[in-house]
């Protein structure tokens, strides 16, 4: 499947547990009711600024902690990608491809190789069973292409198709985060995030035409991410290790969405490859989405989930979370 965007449907999270109904207290009830009323009214007031500037506050939980950042979606032609030259000089995941200089780097190599081996083993039977079907389809497509080919039109047609692909790629909306020199800026409090934005410090979101307006109007109270913009990457590996019956579709689907966005915005090709169409983790994502939708599709999705190895999935996600964590710049 292709890269998910912010418009994709996600499964709602469970709301916080309420006090037991058997022990009602008037004061608690009134307080809860007031809190609920505030929660209902707050998004409408808080979202006005974000809707105008087309930027969203995001909360991301990683093993090292939880932080706030910003994300936007814009046509690719309007954005200058983050500069990773400085980051890659000290990137352990990049360096280990050439030489393993430290024990922790060697451990990552083992992890990547083990995940690749497990994925290959799981896919081996599917490859064998689908081989003939794919070869037959390829032959049929080749025959069709030969029949439809018009002499003298190949070069012009190829050029037109390339131009159309370039235009489509430029118009496609892609994610951009609050980043700088290839690192994701995560702030531990809304106040520190707002202080940074108002400071005029360099970052990759400052290229947006609405950035100045945001920096002038933003207050800490506005930094209240919606549920769909809150991600718990710190829980993914442990959830997958719990086995198929313990898997949380909402948690895992949302983790896949933000991991793809981060991998694109931070230029992490290894993470994009691990989540690309046809990969074992992409198969997991599609099966989770199908199972969450219910009906016959949900039944088939649950059957597909049973065929996905929990060990492979947890190893893959451990690698992904590690690669993202390695390019985070924590700010107090």
Q: Check: CB of residue 328 under 8 Å from CB of residue 186.
A: yes
pLDDT of residue 308: 85
pLDDT of residue 148: 53
Q: Check: CB of residue 67 under 8 Å from CB of residue 229.
A: no
Handedness of CA 215, 219, 220, 225 (dihedral sign): negative
What are the φ and ψ backbone dihedral angles of 173, each rounded to 5 degrees? -75, 130
List, for residues 111-148, the tens digit of each pLDDT value.
566 666 666 666 555 555 455 444 544 454 555 555 55
pLDDT of residue 94: 53
pLDDT band (50, 70, 90) for residue 23: very low
What are the φ and ψ backbone dihedral angles of 64, each rounded to 5 degrees? -85, -10
Say yes or no to pLDDT of 58 above 60. yes
Q: CB under 8 Å, gap of 24 or more: what pairs does 293-297 form? A: none
pLDDT band (50, 70, 90) for residue 302: confident
Q: In the 8-state DSSP scheme, what is residue 316? A: H
pLDDT of residue 285: 92
β partners of residue 232: 61
Return d(Cα 242, Cα 154) in angstroms, integer: 54
pLDDT of residue 292: 77
Contacts of 198 (CB under 8 A, 6+ apart): 215, 218
Highest mean pLDDT among 18-22, 86-90, 151-155, 221-225: 221-225
pLDDT band (50, 70, 90) for residue 89: confident
Three-state helix/strand/coil letters over 84-140: CHHHHHCCHHHHCCCCCCCHHHHHHHHHHHHHHHHHHHHHHHHHHHHHHHHHHHHHH
Return d(Cα 36, Cα 90) in angstroms, integer: 47
Return d(Cα 261, Cα 3) in angstroms, integer: 8
pLDDT of residue 113: 61
pLDDT of residue 290: 87
Highest mean pLDDT among 158-167, 267-276, 279-288: 267-276
Contacts of 22 (CB under 8 A, 6+ apart): none
List, for residues 226-249, the tens digit of each pLDDT value.
999 999 999 999 999 998 889 999
Which of residues 286 and 91 earns the better pLDDT score?
A: 286
pLDDT band (50, 70, 90) for residue 154: low
Say yes or no to pLDDT of 20 above 80. no
Which of residues 50 and 100 earns the better pLDDT score?
A: 50
List, for residues 102-119, the tens digit of each pLDDT value.
344 444 444 566 666 666
pLDDT of residue 18: 40
What are 228's two structure tokens? 């769909």
Domain boundaries, the chain: 48-141+171-331
pTM of the model: 0.69
Say yes or no to pLDDT of 98 above 50. no
């Amino acid at each position: 499947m292709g890269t998910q965007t912010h418009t994709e449907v996600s499964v709602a999270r469970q709301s916080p547990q309420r006090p037991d109904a058997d022990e009602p207290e008037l004061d608690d009830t009134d307080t809860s009711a007031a809190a609920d009323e505030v929660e209902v009214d707050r998004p409408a007031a808080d979202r006005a600024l974000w809707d105008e500037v087309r930027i969203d506050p995001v909360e991301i939980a990683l093993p090292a902690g939880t932080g706030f950042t910003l994300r936007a979606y814009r046509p690719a032609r309007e954005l200058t990608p983050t500069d990773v030259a400085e980051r890659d000089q000290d990137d352990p995941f990049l360096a280990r491809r050439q030489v393993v200089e430290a024990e922790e780097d060697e451990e990552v190599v083992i992890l990547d190789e083990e995940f690749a081996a497990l994925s290959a083993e799981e896919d081996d039977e599917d490859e064998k069973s689908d081989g003939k079907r794919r070869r037959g389809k390829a032959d049929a497509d080749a025959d069709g292409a030969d029949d439809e080919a018009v002499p003298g039109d190949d070069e012009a047609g190829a050029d037109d198709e390339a131009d159309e692909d370039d235009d489509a790629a430029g118009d496609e909306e892609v994610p951009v985060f609050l980043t700088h020199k290839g690192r994701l800026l995560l702030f531990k409090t809304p106040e520190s995030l707002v202080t940074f934005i108002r400071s005029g410090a360099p970052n990759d979101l400052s290229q947006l035409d609405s950035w100045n307006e945001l920096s002038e109007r933003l207050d800490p109270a506005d930094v209240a991410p919606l549920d769909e913009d809150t991600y718990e990457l710190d829980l993914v590996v442990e959830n997958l290790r719990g086995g198929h019956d313990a898997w949380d579709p909402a948690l895992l689907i949302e983790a896949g969405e933000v991991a793809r966005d981060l991998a694109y915005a931070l230029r992490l090709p290894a993470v994009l490859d691990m989540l690309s169409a046809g990969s074992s983790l992409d198969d997991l994502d599609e099966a989770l989405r199908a199972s969450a939708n219910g009906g016959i599709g949900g039944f088939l999705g649950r059957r597909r989930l049973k065929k996905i190895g929990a060990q492979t999935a947890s190893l893959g996600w451990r690698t992904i979370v590690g690669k993202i964590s390695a390019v985070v710049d924590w700010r107090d």
